[in-house]
Amino acid sequence: MAESPSSSPEKGGPSTTATPEKGDKMTSVRKRYRVFWLGGALALIILALALGLGLGLGLRSRNSTSSSAAVSPSPSSTSTPVPTGTPLPGAGANAKLEDWRLDTSSQYVLDMNWDLNAAPTTRHYDLVISEGQGWPDGVVRDMLFINGKFPGPLIEANMGDRLVVNVTNKLSKNATTIHWHGLYQNGTNWYDGTTGITQCGIPAGTSFVYNFTLTQFGTYWYHSHYGTQYSDGIFGPLIIHGTAGESDARKLYDRDQIVLVQDWYHDFSTALLVAYLAPDNENTEPIPDNGLINGQAWFNCSSYSADSGYTCYDNNTYTVLTLPADTRTRLRLINTGSFTEFEFSVDNHSLSVIEADSTLVQPHMVHRLPIHVAQRYSVVLNTNQSTGSNYWMRAEMVTFCFTGDNPVLDATTKAVISYSGNDSIVPSESLSKDWGDATIEICQDLDPSLLVPVEQKIPPAATTMWRIDFSFGIGGNQLDRAKVNGTSWTPLMNTTTLMEVNKGVSTGNASLWEVDGQVTEPWGTDQFVVGVGGREVDVVDVLLYSLDEGSHPFHFHGHQFWILETGSGPFDWTSYHENIYTSKSTAVQNVLRRDTLTVEPYGWALIRFVADNPGLWAFHCHITWHMEAGLMAQFVSRAYVLGGTELPADVTALCAAQ
């Protein structure tokens, strides 16, 4: 039975050790957000099933804890002019880093002396998942931490290395998983971290070790793949270095730095999800309260009235990135958010795009760069402007894609770029200028044809093709559900699609499992599983067709795909069969390869992948709310190989422990 959504961790959770300090102003107020109380136990059961997870942390009244602003220390003496002017909000003599905040000013700057050519080695990491209270933008809330910090630590390795990551779940009752977003996991599908597909959750109070080798390089991230859990803080950057490819790219930059951009909510995700999935609610995704850059931002505390129920520290402040004058910095942008597409820009500075989802591309100059949830881009920024000012970094939410308003939201999330000198000064209004280019009015990707991969890979001709249609609609019990070719995903309980296929094939029922096409055994309409590459390696085209008015950042696990065509309206089947399927067309050249692409409202995307990776691979919209509404398909590749594989005992044991 589901527990009340208002259940909560112990007061003063494990990571909150600060005590109130004199002079901290607080605004204490009542909840703006109300959990929907449903009439009757039946509705709760349905909802719990719909959520696919035990309702965990929820809303509670805020208790007072202290805060002080986190501003990186001012650099010491410098020969360049030092900007003067208005201090950043929250900057002050007592500024310090709270102990739950990751010091991203040091931890997210990559070491340019890192040895790209080091002999392959095994790298060990420990990730301890816990709950507590934090205030990334000044508003105190229940949230989740990794190793007691937010955001999560950098995981860094070389291609060819083995990663051994011990995840310890210290949550009070919920399970967790970690997914390695963008990694192929060829030969280790069971370490992909996907609840109900490749593993059952790691139960509270236990540990689980992920162990796999890295066969690729670029900018990735890791995050919980258990319900909407990553929205509450369980994620971090994962950077894998390459040899030749990366050393070529390094000629374009002198510094290397991670920039996480995301939306942020002031309420726990399970409470938001209950409201979103409540009966008779259609297309009402929760509108974010703020955005964060490297886990921090400014919020105007006076947006909340005195009785809103929130505690807000008004000495919250912006992230400051110190980038010395006349240097070129590679900014590795990762959208770690739940719902929002951003347009990223830096005042006065054009940006040269050199990577999209780990594919290095020929430099392409932009003023503004759209980045949707779970996508990554690297851009090179040259600090060649006046040294007399700091500059705003802007992540502008594409609010056209929201279906409602949030009165407290400032849609421009900002950070400060400081060349040197006084980094706690507001950028000068006369020197730091936003680009005049119009912002986009539809949630879409940068035109993929503008990004040309450095390493040419021509897609082979297709051997099979699937069309996947998706939409949203009010279904049974008035609940808003996603439909994927008539199905709506909920995670399996006590088993995974991987375990079922593995068992099914190896016990002699190959004809039921090892099919090219939809695998219907033994599932009902809550799993949409497509079999590809049963005996041979298939080259698969997927036409992903949206019958929905929203935009959807689709991610495919375990692969990069080629983007062959995108569009809206009718799809030209004749030209497809004549030219594209056979790879005769000029449309099939050295096109962009990535792992997450945006499907526009009522639009479609034609992608191609090589089904050479045995496993169960999730293919889903990365908007956390949509995934929980069921917007998920799966491909089972090379079931024949899977049938002959013994799954590690510690993986199958997770399901027995549920």
Task: Return the number of other C-beta atoms located less than 10 Å from residue 279's C-beta.
Answer: 15
Only one of the segments 200-208, 515-523, 616-624, 649-657 lies at the binding site for ligand C2O (rule: CB under 6 A); that segment is 616-624
In angstroms, the CA 451 to CA 99 distance is 41
- Complex with ligand C2O: residue 191 or 318, whichever CB lies closer: 191
- Complex with ligand C2O: residue 149 or 555, whichever CB lies closer: 555
- Complex with ligand C2O: residue 232 or 565, whichever CB lies closer: 232
CB closest to ligand C2O, residue no = 181
Minimum distance between the CB of residue 619 and ligand C2O, rounded to whole angstroms? 9
- Complex with ligand C2O: residue 330 or 555, whichever CB lies closer: 555
- Complex with ligand C2O: residue 372 or 557, whichever CB lies closer: 557
In angstroms, the CA 268 to CA 377 distance is 28
Q: In what order do the strands lie in the sheet with 155-158?
A: 155-158, 235-241, 218-223, 179-181
269-276 vs 41-51: helix crossing angle, rounded to 10: 110
Q: What one-character-per-residue DSSP string does 396-443 give? A: EE-GGG-SS--TT--SEEEEEEE-SS-TTBPPPTTT-----SPPPSS-
69 close to 91: Cβ distance less than 8 angstroms: yes
Minimum distance between the CB of residue 269 and ligand C2O, rounded to whole angstroms? 15
In angstroms, the CA 354 to CA 237 distance is 18
Only one of the segments 277-285, 352-360, 446-454, 617-625 lies at the binding site for ligand C2O (rule: CB under 6 A); that segment is 617-625
- Residue 349 binds to ligand C2O (criterion: CB under 6 A): no
The tally of CA atoms less than 13 A away on the side-chain side of residue 536 is 7
504-508: Cβ within 8 A, 24+ apart: 504/643, 505/639, 505/640, 505/642, 505/643, 505/644, 506/643, 506/644
Q: Within 277-340, where are the H helices?
A: none
Q: Exposed, middle or buried: residue 121 (CB in 10 Å: 0-12, 13-18, 19+)?
A: exposed
Q: Which residue has the tokens 């991610």?
A: 555
- Complex with ligand C2O: residue 297 or 618, whichever CB lies closer: 618
- The CA-atom distances, in angstroms, between 125 and each of 122, 164, 567, 584, 610 are 10, 6, 42, 46, 31
- Complex with ligand C2O: residue 199 or 311, whichever CB lies closer: 199
In angstroms, the CA 419 to CA 186 distance is 43
Minimum distance between the CB of residue 226 and ligand C2O, rounded to whole angstroms? 11
Minimum distance between the CB of residue 179 and ligand C2O, rounded to whole angstroms? 5
Looking at residues 192 to 221 of the shown chain, list those that interact with ligand C2O (rule: CB under 6 A): 194
Angle at 536 between CA 532 and CA 537, to 5 degrees: 65
- Helix, strand, or coil (residue 157): strand
Contact mark string toward ligand C2O, 497..536, x via CB under 6 A: ----------------------------------------
In angstroms, the CA 247 to CA 454 distance is 13
Minimum distance between the CB of residue 295 and ligand C2O, rounded to whole angstroms? 18
Q: Which residue has the tokens 């990135």?
A: 321
Minimum distance between the CB of residue 355 and ligand C2O, rounded to whole angstroms? 17
Contact mark string toward ligand C2O, 38..67, x via CB under 6 A: ------------------------------
Contact with ligand C2O (CB under 6 A): which of 223, 414, 608, 638? Answer: 223
Q: Which residue has the tokens 């070719």?
A: 485
What phi and psi values does residue 545 have, to the nearest 5 degrees? -120, 120
- Complex with ligand C2O: residue 427 or 491, whichever CB lies closer: 491
Contact with ligand C2O (CB under 6 A): which of 47, 618, 647, 651? Answer: 618
- Residue 559 binds to ligand C2O (criterion: CB under 6 A): no
Contact mark string toward ligand C2O, 127..166, x via CB under 6 A: ----------------------------------------
- Complex with ligand C2O: residue 216 or 281, whichever CB lies closer: 216
Looking at residues 370 to 429 of the shown chain, list those that interact with ligand C2O (rule: CB under 6 A): 374
Task: Return the number of other C-beta atoms located less than 10 Å from residue 111's C-beta.
Answer: 8
- Residue 620 binds to ligand C2O (criterion: CB under 6 A): yes
Contact with ligand C2O (CB under 6 A): which of 62, 141, 149, 225? Answer: 225
Minimum distance between the CB of residue 110 and ligand C2O, rounded to whole angstroms? 21
What phi and psi values does residue 639 have, to the nearest 5 degrees? -55, -30
In angstroms, the CA 422 to CA 436 distance is 27
- Residue 557 binds to ligand C2O (criterion: CB under 6 A): yes
254 close to 110: Cβ distance less than 8 angstroms: no
- Complex with ligand C2O: residue 195 or 257, whichever CB lies closer: 195
What phi and psi values does residue 560 have, to the nearest 5 degrees? -105, 145
Only one of the segments 396-404, 480-488, 542-550, 618-626 lies at the binding site for ligand C2O (rule: CB under 6 A); that segment is 618-626
Only one of the segments 20-28, 299-307, 315-323, 615-623 lies at the binding site for ligand C2O (rule: CB under 6 A); that segment is 615-623
Minimum distance between the CB of residue 192 and ligand C2O, rounded to whole angstroms? 8
- Residue 555 binds to ligand C2O (criterion: CB under 6 A): yes
- Helix, strand, or coil (residue 305): coil
Only one of the segments 32-40, 106-114, 339-347, 614-622 lies at the binding site for ligand C2O (rule: CB under 6 A); that segment is 614-622
- Helix, strand, or coil (residue 642): helix
- Complex with ligand C2O: residue 334 or 354, whichever CB lies closer: 334
Q: What one-character-per-residue DSSP string does 461-476 give? A: PPSEEEEEEEEEEE-G
Minimum distance between the CB of residue 555 and ligand C2O, rounded to whole angstroms? 5
What phi and psi values does residue 303 have, to the nearest 5 degrees? -65, -25
Minimum distance between the CB of residue 558 and ligand C2O, rounded to whole angstroms? 10
Task: Return the number of other C-beta atoms located less than 10 Å from residue 379's C-beta.
Answer: 27
Minimum distance between the CB of residue 261 and ligand C2O, rounded to whole angstroms? 15
Minimum distance between the CB of residue 240 and ligand C2O, rounded to whole angstroms? 16
- Residue 552 binds to ligand C2O (criterion: CB under 6 A): no
Contact with ligand C2O (CB under 6 A): which of 622, 624, 628, 636? Answer: 622
* DSSP 8-state class, residue 297: -
How many residues bind ligand C2O (CB under 6 A)? The answer is: 11
Contact with ligand C2O (CB under 6 A): which of 101, 141, 149, 181? Answer: 181
In angstroms, the CA 625 to CA 286 distance is 8
Minimum distance between the CB of residue 556 and ligand C2O, rounded to whole angstroms? 9
- Residue 626 binds to ligand C2O (criterion: CB under 6 A): no
Q: Tokens for 264, please give them.
A: 């942020």
Minimum distance between the CB of residue 182 and ligand C2O, rounded to whole angstroms? 8
Looking at residues 285 to 344 of the shown chain, list those that interact with ligand C2O (rule: CB under 6 A): none
Q: Which residue has the tokens 């919250």?
A: 316
For residue 51, what are the β-bridge partners?
A: none
Q: Tokens for 249, please give them.
A: 């790219």
Interacting residue ranges for ligand C2O, rule: CB under 6 A: 179, 181, 194, 223, 225, 374, 555, 557, 618, 620, 622
